[in-house]
A and B are shown apart, each in its own frame.
Chain A
Amino acid sequence: MSHVNHVRLLAVSLLCLAASSVVVQTPCFGQAASNNTTTDFPGLDIQAQIGWDGFIDQTAPLPISFLVTNQSEKLLEGELRLNDPISGNSLSLGELAIGPGGTKRFSTIQTLLNWESCFAEYTDGAEVFWTRSLSLANERYNATGGAIMLVIDDGSRKVVFPTDKPAVGGVLPDQTIYTPPVGQGHVVQALSIGSWQLPTHPGPLTTALSVVLTESAKPESLNDAQWDAMGRWICMGGTLFINEATPEAIKRAEKACPLSVLPAREVNGFAEQAAGAGRIRVYRGKMFSGDDVTTPLSLATGTSKLSRPALFRALTASPLMVYDSPASERTRNWVILVFTIYTLVSGGVTFLLFRFSRSRLKVYTISVVAIASVAAAALGVMLRNSHGDAGWNSVTQLSEIGAVQGARIAVRSAGGRNFQLEVTGPRVDLQVTETDAMARVYGPYSYQYYDRFGVNSRFTAPPFSLGTNLSEATDSFRIQVPVRPWGEREAIAVGFLPSFSGVRVKLRYEPPFARGELADKVTSVDQVEAILSTNGFPDDAVLQGVWTVEVLNESPVELKNCSLSVTKSSVRGYDGAERGYQQYNEPGRVLQNTDLVHQVGKIDIGDISAKGSKSAPAEASIRWSNQYETYYDSNSVSLCYPGGTQAMFVAGIAESPGLRINEAASDFQPSETRSHMILLPIKADDMPASWKACHEWLLLRQIRQEEQVIKISNPKTTVPFPTFPE
């Protein structure tokens, strides 16, 4: 017995020892071993990027792109998410299912204005298949004031331009930036991306002045949604460069345009087809052919002399507020009325009831509170079901055939939340913008001036998170507008009007030194030089010429308050503009685009009836503004390139020609706050040759003169600047 007990004891002891060894090796509950290393799902490869090629503009629609490849044998189903562990923000981008051996593109547009960091993950809830940190830093900040040329190529090749700039501090200059001679166009930043990064909405493309499809482009390089976005962007004022060796891609691009594409004509060495406010330019040569950079340079030069699209600039130029908001005022007045009465009856009147007994006073108080509670309940129900107000303005940019119309809609809640807004119109798109969020991040007035941190975004669409169309009807777009009670939000709509056009503008300019017949002969800088040197006119005589404007309105709408704006370029310190700080302080430096200013002149034309025409008086004088807009100033509104000149016909119209707020399907009532205008940018070819010659001559003269000033003078001796004591 005793022996058996000892054996049992020994066995139990060994068992305890074995168990304890297991327990000791296992971490206790509070110290569970954590596995911080994350591994991707085997066979899953995801490329992800916010923005393009290091360019991130948070004040414009921000593209987020994923290229997902599943090399595993398993069907993966999950959700793509973005998380910011610092600010606690989290965003679901949508569901994504990808079969074995499949490849999928996923792109979206999101506003990440108050995000500190960004982690993307692909997860099915239980398992994280893939996670990465995505950079939110804009590495191309220095070039955002210039023009962006987006080069789409699936070969992972990058466009570089030759440069003679020396390395600074061992760092080579950025060879993706093309800098033209001063006064010869925008600085161009080339961004090289893969086709999977092209968005499915034209919004992000508005940051680019041109898109280049390389010689490897095929119709199937882009999916239908991407082609559609490209076509819409072109008609909104974009320029697509496409290689002549890819005729199928050219046809696909033409097909994608929602407005008619005109036959090709030769412009600056490219075969150009106008499409709405934009154009398709066919180029020759190869983008990537060894050391030959002729083609990239020609495309960069072509991009540098493009005017910026006018649509969003015109839409966002002035603040849009719902001044007239009857619905929200009505509900607000109800709230004030109910609770003011309650306050007076429960407070003020009670004081007068001093003769009431306690029981009667009790009954009175309970009755007042009960009635007020019922009224408050009714008020709450009314607020929840109330319709808000909508104020809007629209800009219609005309082209030879068709027009593109943009509308900016401000909505105000009348006490409810989460309203629906529907806009109808041909090929309409509608998005809720994040102007309020931008105002919080960048300042209270950034809803008006989108580009407090760069010129580029002034001309782009405002930032938004891509919304889907809730309407099933064609040519209508319905969205959910998350707005707090009595809060305001903004939305932006764009539509394409294929049949709305018919305004023709003819310009003539007579320099004061070459009136009448002679004016037509002034077509080159040399002729201007010759005439001026013979007759001894002063330099600024070119500004004193006479403009003649003839407008033929073949459209069915009456044009009101018509005017023509002419933009010209000059060097700071000339034509009345003040010299720049650098011009004073850095003698010997090279003249730059920053030394140029734009000046706008306006010619008032008056009203023009439908199917009518009008000419400005023969001696119509142009009123040059005293405001000089430097190219890099945040207040710059000039659409033309540095050193360029441009004209724009502007008129007001009574009704929107295409887009409408569908009151029946919207929870907002359009208020009286509305204005509609049309724009017609005058093509460079249609500008008077005499004006172009005079303008170019004057600018060149100013540039040469200023270069001499910089070279020979030492302004520090003449213009004292405070210096710090040694």
Chain B
Amino acid sequence: MNMFRQFLGIFQNSPAYARDRANLISTTTIGFAALILNGAILMAILILLFDPREFSGLAERVEFGQLLGVVLLTGATVFATVLIPLRLSGVFMGPRIGRYFDQVVLSGISPIRFLMGKVTSQNLFLGLVLFLLMPWFVLVLAVGGLQWHVFIGNLLLLWLYSMMLALMMLWLSLYFNEVLALGIMLALGAFVGGLGCAPIPYQPIVLTPFPALMQGAWTAMGELPPELVRGYGSIFLTSVIGMSSVCLIAFTGLCLGPLYGILRDNSTFGEVVHAGDSKRKRRFRFRMHIQRPSELAFFYQNRGDIFRNWEGLLRWGLSLGTLLVLMTIAWGIYWYGMDTFYSRLKTSPNTGNYFFYLGTNAIAETMHGFTLFFAVLFFSRARNTMYWKIPLIAGRKVSIATLDWTCFLFVVLLSSGVSYGLPTLLHEWFRLPNELLGMPGPIVNPTDAEWVIKNYSGFNVWMVHLESTLVLSVSALTLFLIIRSLCVLTWVRTVAVFTGAAFFVFICLPGPFIIAGLVEFAIKSRFDIGTDVAKTLAMMSPIAVFGVNYREIGTSFGYHNSTLPFYLYHGTIIGLCLVFLRNSGNTLKRTSLTWQGRGER
């Protein structure tokens, strides 16, 4: 009961809510909302009124009242997509510019209570929007033809969408500057909204009300195959689940807040002071990118004890859990798809071809690659938190670096195992005829057979898959270490991740190819260096390894080159990164632990 009261308290007595409520009834808010909203809906209605023949397919099958209702709620949804992030774009910027954010921090108010006030105040805004639409609703009722259950369902989805937008915007504002967060939200809103409007059977984009709003229209216009049309209830339910899940994740993110260590440099409230700043010019001493998250980190010191004592478990558990859930969904779909295809293959072998196994394994490797990229993203930290120690379970502290390494290696091992094991298991499970298992598979055309035998003789599809999985894992480890090395130097994780990824993609991957090209075309003739040297250099890149493995690199390069240069090259990078981390990292580690210990004292 006490916990329930605490939970309710989050939504009550927020000064942010009181402030928004006070500002709601203003000429600017009402005038702007009324003018834009009513104007947009009037324009949409005018199109229907002036060119009914153009929409005859829709108008003939959907009642006008229903159509009008959909137009109203679509307008309100678009309005919410733009205005709710816009209204929340000053959540931290306002108090910081107004110079009262320190008061907010020092008042001891819980961050979630402060932020949830902003979320709940969006209900007032939504209420105002719906109130301004009242005459339209009256017209819909008077004209008739409204499907009440659909209308009410869409209204509920609109409310849920508004809450989701508010929570997402606030969550993003913890990590990005509000203007950047607004841009991201608008771009995401347009992208997801656009996809949600598309007439896709079994619409997977259920993070907006658009699939539910448009479903009736698409069905009426015959844009969806009749056998794939879902009922409104099904779309409503999946939309509720989808948006509620995002709300829950964003709410949890808001509760946890950003993980941002307070070191010596950012331990003062108003500014960031690095060693040697007294000798620098004033313009070089502004470090807004550190100052803003540092202030938020101070704000999040006001969280409850439950978060402090279980922070490690909550953060890494949630990250790992999210990744595992995504993996499970992706591999579940893979299993289902393969199961269907294998069953068909068993009954009708001619549906398969000799590229089938390569294709299925390539899908598995692609999923493995994406999993590893997300693991790199999730388990990298900036320099201020990299060696921080946080309570894992019941206040028992563990180093963040240890947690990151453990989780990353766990994901790498798990994903590698699944990526190799699951396709193998599927083959074993179905016990397909031998001629389907080997390479090449069933061949109908003799010319094709000759070509396949010539190009794929001695090809072992499972060894190729094993090596490809291993290459991906090693590459991911290399990328992880490059990013960690950069994290030692930077205060912003995103900068480190994208710089590291760019370095890996644009330098490490094509670098060996460029050097090999230089050797082959420029140095070879002058220094009498053989083509083998160029090939060996090229084989340092995972691109070349995949090209050779999948026999896509061309016969002139050959398919029997050793992959040892790849391992040596990546091993060298890994080694260099480890040495760097040992030197610079240890210095940072000592500083962090010293400062953290001082702070706790």
A residues near B (Cβ < 8 Å) are 86-88, 114, 116, 332, 335-336, 338-340, 342-343, 346-354, 356, 358, 361-362, 365, 369, 372-373, 375-377, 379-381, 383-384, 415, 417, 436-437, 439-440, 484-488
Closest Cβ–Cβ distance, residue A116 to chain B (whole Å) = 8
With known contacts A86-B226, A332-B49, A380–B145 Cβ distance under 8 A? no
Chain B contact-residue range equals 35 or more
Choose one: B33, B38, B142; the contact of A384 (CB below 8 Å).
Answer: B142
B142 touches A377 (CB 8 A): yes
With known contacts A335-B49, A440-B57, A484-B59, A383–B143 Cβ distance under 8 A? yes
Binary CB contact string for chain B from 47 to 73 against chain A (1 if under 8 A, 0 otherwise): 011101100110110011000000000
Of B131-139, B261-269, B566-574, the segment with at least 4 beta carbons within 8 Å of chain A is B131-139
B26 touches A361 (CB 8 A): yes
A350 touches B27 (CB 8 A): yes
Nearest to A87 among chain B residues (CB) is B226
Known: A88-B226, A340-B42, A351-B28. 13 other contacts (CB 8 A): A339-B135, A342-B38, A342-B135, A346-B30, A350-B27, A361-B25, A379-B142, A384-B143, A384-B144, A484-B52, A484-B64, A486-B52, A487-B52
B131 touches A369 (CB 8 A): yes
A347 touches B34 (CB 8 A): yes
A373 touches B138 (CB 8 A): yes
* Distance, CA A351 to CA B226, complexed state (A): 49
Chain A residues near B38: list those with CB within 8 A.
339, 342-343, 346-347
Binary CB contact string for chain B from 12 to 52 against chain A (1 if under 8 A, 0 otherwise): 00000000000001111011111110110010011011101
With known contacts A87-B226, A88-B226, A369–B30 Cβ distance under 8 A? no
Nearest to B139 among chain A residues (CB) is A376
19 residue pairs of the A-B complex, CB under 8 angstroms, read: A336-B42, A339-B136, A346-B34, A347-B35, A350-B31, A361-B27, A362-B25, A373-B134, A376-B135, A376-B138, A377-B139, A380-B141, A380-B143, A380-B144, A384-B142, A417-B144, A440-B57, A484-B60, A488-B56
A350 touches B56 (CB 8 A): no
B residues near A (Cβ < 8 Å) are 25-28, 30-36, 38-39, 42, 45-46, 48-50, 52-53, 56-57, 59-60, 63-64, 131-132, 134-136, 138-139, 141-145, 222, 226-227
Chain B residues near A349: list those with CB within 8 A.
31
Nearest to A370 among chain B residues (CB) is B134
Chain A residues near B63: list those with CB within 8 A.
484
With known contacts A343-B34, A380-B143, A486-B49, A440–B56 Cβ distance under 8 A? yes
A86 touches B145 (CB 8 A): no
Chain A residues near B145: list those with CB within 8 A.
417
Choose one: B34, B46, B141; the contact of A350 (CB below 8 Å).
Answer: B34
With known contacts A347-B36, A384-B142, A369–B135 Cβ distance under 8 A? yes
Closest Cβ–Cβ distance, residue B329 to chain A (whole Å) = 26
B36 touches A485 (CB 8 A): no
* Distance, CA A338 to CA B45, complexed state (A): 13
* Distance, CA A361 to CA B132, complexed state (A): 14
A383 touches B142 (CB 8 A): yes
A335 touches B45 (CB 8 A): yes
* Distance, CA A387 to CA B144, complexed state (A): 17
* Distance, CA A351 to CA B50, complexed state (A): 30
With known contacts A350-B30, A350-B34, A369-B131, A487–B138 Cβ distance under 8 A? no
The listed residue with most B CB atoms (<10 A of its CB), out of A358, A376, A417, is A376
B27 touches A436 (CB 8 A): no
Nearest to A352 among chain B residues (CB) is B27
* Distance, CA A287 to CA B345, complexed state (A): 58
B35 touches A114 (CB 8 A): no
A339 touches B45 (CB 8 A): yes
A365 touches B142 (CB 8 A): no
Closest Cβ–Cβ distance, residue A394 to chain B (whole Å) = 23
B56 touches A487 (CB 8 A): yes
Choose one: A342, A354, A376; the contact of B27 (CB below 8 Å).
Answer: A354
With known contacts A343-B38, A347-B39, A361–B141 Cβ distance under 8 A? no
With known contacts A347-B39, A358-B25, A488–B53 Cβ distance under 8 A? yes
* Distance, CA A126 to CA B156, complexed state (A): 38
Nearest to B140 among chain A residues (CB) is A380
Chain A residues near B144: list those with CB within 8 A.
380, 384, 417
A353 touches B27 (CB 8 A): yes
Chain B residues near A87: list those with CB within 8 A.
226
Chain A residues near B49: list those with CB within 8 A.
332, 335-336, 486
B31 touches A351 (CB 8 A): yes
Choose one: A340, A348, A358, A376; the contact of B31 (CB below 8 Å).
Answer: A348
Q: 6 tightest CB-CB pairs across the interface, nearest first?
A: A380-B142, A347-B35, A350-B31, A346-B34, A372-B135, A347-B34
Closest Cβ–Cβ distance, residue B136 to chain A (whole Å) = 7
Nearest to A484 among chain B residues (CB) is B59
Chain B residues near A336: list those with CB within 8 A.
42, 46, 49
B138 touches A439 (CB 8 A): no
Chain A residues near B136: list those with CB within 8 A.
339, 376
* Distance, CA A2 to CA B139, complexed state (A): 83
Chain B residues near A369: list those with CB within 8 A.
131-132, 134-135
A485 touches B143 (CB 8 A): yes
A351 touches B27 (CB 8 A): yes
* Distance, CA A381 to CA B226, complexed state (A): 36
* Distance, CA A436 to CA B64, complexed state (A): 17
Chain A residues near B34: list those with CB within 8 A.
343, 346-347, 350
* Distance, CA A486 to CA B222, complexed state (A): 22
Chain A residues near B141: list those with CB within 8 A.
377, 380
* Distance, CA A354 to CA B64, complexed state (A): 38
Nearest to B30 among chain A residues (CB) is A350
Chain A residues near B27: list those with CB within 8 A.
350-354, 356, 361
Chain B residues near A417: list those with CB within 8 A.
64, 144-145
Closest Cβ–Cβ distance, residue B139 to chain A (whole Å) = 4
